[in-house]
Chain A
Amino acid sequence: SQQGEEDPQALSIQEGENATMNCSYKTSINNLQWYRQNSGRGLVHLILIRSNEREKHSGRLRVTLDTSKKSSSLLITASRAADTASYFCATGGEETSGSRLTFGEGTQLTVNP
C-alpha cells in the first residue's frame, strides 16, 4: 500500500519560478525523504527530514514537515530546465540498517525554458 500521496500529480512551470510539491502520509513516521527520478533512470536521494524537525534546507531545496497534519512539502526555488523530473516522497521507519521505505506515486515536474 502507498503511504505517501503527492500533490499535484503534475506541475508545469517556467524557468526561474518556484515549484512546490506536497506529500501527505497516513501513519506515524521517524523520517520523511524526497527523491528525484529522471525519465527511465533510478532515483536519487535529495533530502531527509526527521520527525522532530520542521524545516530543512539544501541548496535550492527547502523541505517542511508538519507531523500534526501528516504532511510535507518540497520547494525548489529558481527552477531550471534541468530540474525536470519526477519527485517522490518516501516515509521511513527506524533509522537502522534495512529500514524499509514506502514511496508515494510522485509529482511530475516540467520546467519550461
Chain B
Amino acid sequence: DGGITQSPKYLFRKEGQNVTLSCEQNLNHDAMYWYRQDPGQGLRLIYYSQIVNDFQKGDIAEGYSVSREKKESFPLTVTSAQKNPTAFYLCASSTTSLYGYTFGSGTRLTVV
C-alpha cells in the first residue's frame, strides 16, 4: 500500500540537542512538506520541497533544517536554536494540489 511514514511516533529531546524526524513516502509524489501543530491550533508550515535537492522556507523555519536528497525522503532536523520545540510535527506529500495532501501520522516531540 502506498503511504507516508513518519518515525518515531514519540520523541524526547534534552535541551541543547538536535533531533531528526524521519518522513518517507512511496506515493511517487514530487512535493513534500513539514508542518508544526501546537495544542488546539492549526498547522504552520516549516519547510517544503517541490523537487529533489530543492526546498523553501515556510512561515516558521527558524531553528529547523531539512534536506531532500531522495524523492522519497524529507527529514526534518530540530536544532538547539529552536526555542520552543515541543509540538506535534506532521509531514505531508502531494502531486498537484488538486488532489490534496497525504499526511503521515505525526511525531510528537517533547523537550525534557
Residues on A lying within 8 angstroms of B by beta carbon are 1-2, 4, 30-31, 33, 35, 40-45, 48, 88, 92-106
Contacts and interface: CB of A to CB of B under 8 A. Distances in A.
The DSSP consensus for interface residues of chain B is: strand
A105 B105 contact: no
A102 B94 CA distance: 14
B43 A98 contact: no
B76 interface: no
Contacts of B31: 97-99
Interface stretch (B14-22, B78-86, B96-104): B96-104
A43 B103 contact: yes
Nearest to B45: A100
B30 interface: yes
The DSSP consensus for interface residues of chain A is: loop
A98 B21 CA distance: 21
Interface in B51-91: 51, 58-59, 88, 90
Interface of B: 6, 29-31, 33, 35, 40-45, 48-51, 58-59, 88, 90, 92, 94-106, 108
Given A1-B59, A2-B42, A104-B42, A99 B102 contact: no
Nearest to A50: B98
A93 B94 CA distance: 13
A29 B42 CA distance: 19
Contacts of B104: 42
Nearest to A98: B50
